[in-house]
């Protein structure tokens, strides 16, 4: 994705991070965090957990977490690429795109695992267009950080 961004916008600076960085924000500094297709761009389980842990740290008690991301797709094209890359990445749903990006689609239950420290307010399934013009099934989750543990 970085290579693609550099080709499309050669005057801008793009970089990768090996893991989500710690926010310079103090604990409980945010009322809400929005993630639009962010988890799709983080293929590894541990990196996803680190991100959610960091978001839990910076959200105020009662703070809102909104996630919009992509679910596993059931069409032949996606099933083929999930299977083709599962051994290499250690997870069914992780795949490479034609331009070299590594992406991840998630089983619905993955979000329950990731958001174990949050209380879900609402969940809905949606259809979304992808960067490459395909239609994919997505999920939107609205959750909040508990006010007490």
Arithmetic mean of pLDDT, 95-123? 94
The two three-digit tokens of residue 45, written as one number: 């389980």
Beta bridge partners of 71: 106
Q: What span, in angstroms and rounded, lies between the C-alpha atoms of 99 and 2? A: 10
Predicted confidence band of residue 70 (pLDDT cuts 50, 70, 90): very high
**CB 54 within 8 Å of CB 22:** yes
Mean pLDDT, the chain, integer: 90
Q: pLDDT, tens digit, for every residue of 7-29? A: 889 998 776 655 555 667 788 88
Write the CA distances from 33 to 37, 49, 104, 123, 135, integer angstroms: 13, 15, 21, 16, 26
Which of 3.30.360.10, 3.30.365.10, 3.40.50.1100, 3.40.50.150 is the CATH number of 29-129+139-144?
Answer: 3.40.50.150
Kindly indicate the confidence band of residue 99, based on its pLDDT and cuts at 50, 70 and 90. Answer: confident
Q: What's the Cα-to-Cα distance from 121 to each of 29, 68, 76, 124, rounded to whole Å?
A: 21, 14, 33, 11
Using the predicted structure, report yes or no on whether residue 38 has a pLDDT greater than 90. yes
Domain boundaries, the chain: 29-129+139-144
């Amino acid at each position: 994705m970085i290579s693609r961004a550099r080709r499309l916008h050669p005057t801008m600076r793009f970089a990768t991070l090996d893991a989500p960085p710690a926010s310079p924000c103090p604990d409980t500094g945010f009322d809400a965090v929005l993630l639009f297709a962010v988890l799709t761009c983080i293929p590894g389980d541990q990196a996803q957990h680190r991100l959610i842990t960091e978001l839990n740290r910076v959200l105020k008690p009662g703070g809102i977490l909104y996630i919009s991301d992509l679910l596993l797709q059931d069409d032949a094209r996606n099933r083929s690429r999930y299977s083709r890359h599962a051994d290499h990445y250690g997870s069914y749903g992780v795949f490479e795109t034609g331009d070299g990006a590594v992406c991840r689609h998630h089983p619905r239950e993955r979000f329950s695992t990731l958001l174990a420290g949050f209380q879900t307010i609402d969940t809905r399934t949606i259809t979304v267009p992808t960067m490459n013009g395909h239609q994919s099934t997505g999920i939107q989750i609205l959750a909040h950080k508990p006010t007490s543990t």
